[in-house]
Chain A
Amino acid sequence: MKLPSGVGGWVKVLLPWLLLACLLLMPVTGTSANVIKLIFITAVWTTTSLAWNLLGGMAGQVSFGFAVFYGIGAYTTGLLMHAGYSPYLGFLCGGILAAVASFIIGIPTFRLRGPYFVIATIGVTEAVRVVMNNLDITGGAGGYRIDEKQYNPTEHYFSAIAAVSLAFLVSSLIASSKFGLALRAIKQDEDAAADLGVKPYYAKLWVHAIAAVLTGIAGGIYARRAAFFYPGDVFAFQTGISILLMPVIGGIGTVWGAVMGGVIFGIVEEELVAKFPNIHLLLYGSLLIAIILFEPDGLLGLLQRLARLLRSKRSEDPGSNNPDQVLWGRGGSQGR
């Protein structure tokens, strides 16, 4: 591994470890149960945000259908725990089953491109929700309950931290690997990428599967703590939307953007929604509109822009070199 250069480089390398150390010390230092719960929820959401970002941000395939994997993780964990197995086996199997589902969904739908793929994922997630609502095994609309003998918030907390660390690690590894480079190439121009020797179809399938595993694990961890869930919750269209909104708001295509989106979303869901139950759709909707019209790189892009302004008052602005602008249609077709 190359040694980081400059202060910024060291910050980038050390920041995740410092954050992790702080998070691990939280329960020991006697933080209140509410804060622990908040961090737990935030960590679960951030895991899904990072997972979505692999497919939607890096490879540019926007999917509304991640609730499918989340729900599969939740139900696999629930059913296995009910049968007397360890919840950790449940998380593992949930991830594996979610990956299987990702192939079943991805093999047909990845033949479609751009908005056609998006529309297909909306269809898939709605169909799955309706079917799950009518299966006996899910408890139907009545819901499903996990009866765990001892309830240990700290264990839940650490499992969520482990999941989010795993998601962060996987995202960082992919971002700096050849595979990540291939994904970015697919996002910018699928045909050109194929000409350069990338196999777009298989790359998309694999990154979809990786994202599904992470989402499935997050769903399982959530379900174990919630102890009660129903298809209209974990398989909901709304869940898929939430998973999509986080990275887009935080900064699509970047690992830290996804983390930021997840953290903001978790805090808003836990703190604001309880106080103003009518406002969160308005908040997300207007944030989404503002981000697409003014700052396609999300809040992280906004911060970077501010940082650049502060650093170099008058020097030449290099402009955003984020290739994600291709996603927003700024790339080509000036001739319309």
Chain B
Amino acid sequence: MDFSQFLNLLISALLLAGVYAAMAVGMTVIYGVMKIVNLAHAGFLMLGAYFAFELYERFHIDPLLGAVLALPVFFLFGMGVHWLLVRWLPKSDTPTLASLLLMFGFWLVLQNFGYMIWGNDDRSITTPRTLSALNIGQITVPEVNLIVFAAALVCLIVLQIVFNRSWFGRSMRALIQNPYAAQIVGVDDGRTSRLTFGLGTAFAGFAGALLGMIYTFSPDFGRQFLLRSFVIIVLGGLDSVSGVALGAVVLALVETFGPQIQFHGKYILPDSLQPAISFALLVVVLLIMPKGLASMFVRKRRLT
């Protein structure tokens, strides 16, 4: 592998990391505040992709704008789901299997609607710029990936500001750190949970639309990304937003460079086995670092 090839791979890995972070962050805030392992995240990702697809096919709205439009729509949708289903779950400060299976059931329902409306075919969003690429010296970057990365980055920065500066962000952090104490000092648990679920869903829809610009999708689209989201948030320590960025970078690097590893001149990981990398990584990380990568750097202080 020469240097320009290495640089190309590195850049594509970093661009991928941006989308991965946007994808996993929705799951992380929901887990952090409500301790719900949101399996329906996969369904929201899928709906987000179809949302941008439909807007583009019917009204010729640019998928990037479609992704931004997905934010408010999915925010309301998520609040509706919370009002209808999630708020009835028994409260707990450790994740319960009831919540996991409930969200799983909801994912199945979403998937079924996906199959009913759009059928089993693979779809893709093809715009005039899908195939164009930027060339800077020896480095080639697909334009779509660059745009998607920029959009994801902007959204993550906005989220980080909301998280750190706003009243809502402060109540979220309070609930993540200590739900009991947060309620004593007057944080409205129900309202914050509802808003958080909306926020998580909004990010899922947004990330789904972005992913739909890069990959083809079908109603089963979310599953592979659901597992990647798991890897990322487990790497990131389950409830920290900055951990998510770290996890996303690690996963993207491993996925990009894993298949390049050579042993005695032979690739040990053929491309077809690439999906297995992330799942294997998931199990390994769960076992050796249950608190995530961030715990290696920060021993005592809790990251939020």
Contacts and interface: CB of A to CB of B under 8 A. Distances in A.
Contacts of B92: 329, 333, 336
A282 B112 contact: yes
A22 interface: no
A333 B272 CA distance: 45
Interface in B256-290: 270, 272-273, 275-276, 279-280, 282-283, 286-287, 290
B94 A127 contact: no
For chain B, give the interface size range: 35 or more
B224 to A, nearest CB: 8
Given A115-B37, A124-B283, A281-B108, A328 B113 contact: no
A130 B279 contact: yes
B106 interface: yes
B286 A120 contact: yes
A109 interface: yes
A280 B109 CA distance: 9
A293 B88 contact: yes
A286 B223 CA distance: 19
Given A112-B286, A329-B90, 9 more contacts: A116-B286, A118-B37, A281-B112, A285-B110, A293-B89, A296-B98, A333-B92, A333-B94, A336-B91
Interface string A169-206: 00000000000000000000000000000000000000
Interface of B: 37, 85, 88-102, 104-113, 115-116, 179-180, 189, 223, 227, 230-231, 234, 270, 272-273, 275-276, 279-280, 282-283, 286-287, 290
A109 B279 CA distance: 13
Contacts of B279: 122-124, 126-127, 130
9 contacts: A278-B112, A282-B113, A285-B111, A285-B112, A286-B109, A292-B98, A328-B90, A329-B90, A333-B93
Interface in A105-122: 108-109, 111-112, 114-116, 118-120, 122
B236 to A, nearest CB: 14
B97 A328 contact: yes
A330 interface: yes
Contacts of A166: none
Closest 10 CB pairs of A and B: A288-B105, A285-B108, A329-B96, A285-B109, A281-B112, A127-B279, A282-B112, A123-B282, A328-B98, A123-B279
B107 A285 contact: yes
A88 B252 CA distance: 46
Q: Which of B90, B101, B116 has the most CB of A within 10 A?
A: B101
Contacts of B102: 288-289, 292-293
Contact of A327 (B98, B112, B227): B98
Given A130-B276, A329-B98, A119 B286 contact: yes
A273 interface: no
Given A120-B283, A289-B102, A130 B90 contact: no
Contact of B227 (A114, A122, A286): A122
A134 interface: yes
A279 interface: yes
B91 A130 contact: no
B115 A127 contact: no
B93 A278 contact: no
B113 to A, nearest CB: 7
Counting chain B CB atoms within 10 Å of each CB, which of A119, A241, A333 scores highest? A119
Nearest to A112: B286
B122 to A, nearest CB: 15
Most buried by A among B85, B97, B234: B97
A284 B279 CA distance: 26
A316 to B, nearest CB: 24
Contact of B270 (A119, A127, A134): A134
A77 B111 CA distance: 33
A137 to B, nearest CB: 15
Nearest to B282: A123
Interface in A282-308: 282, 284-289, 292-293, 296
Contacts of B179: 336
A108 B91 contact: no
A62 interface: yes
A111 B289 CA distance: 12
Nearest to B277: A127
A328 B94 CA distance: 12
B51 to A, nearest CB: 20
A328 B275 CA distance: 32
Contacts of B85: 289, 293
A286 B270 contact: no
Contacts of B97: 60, 62, 114-115, 118, 327-329
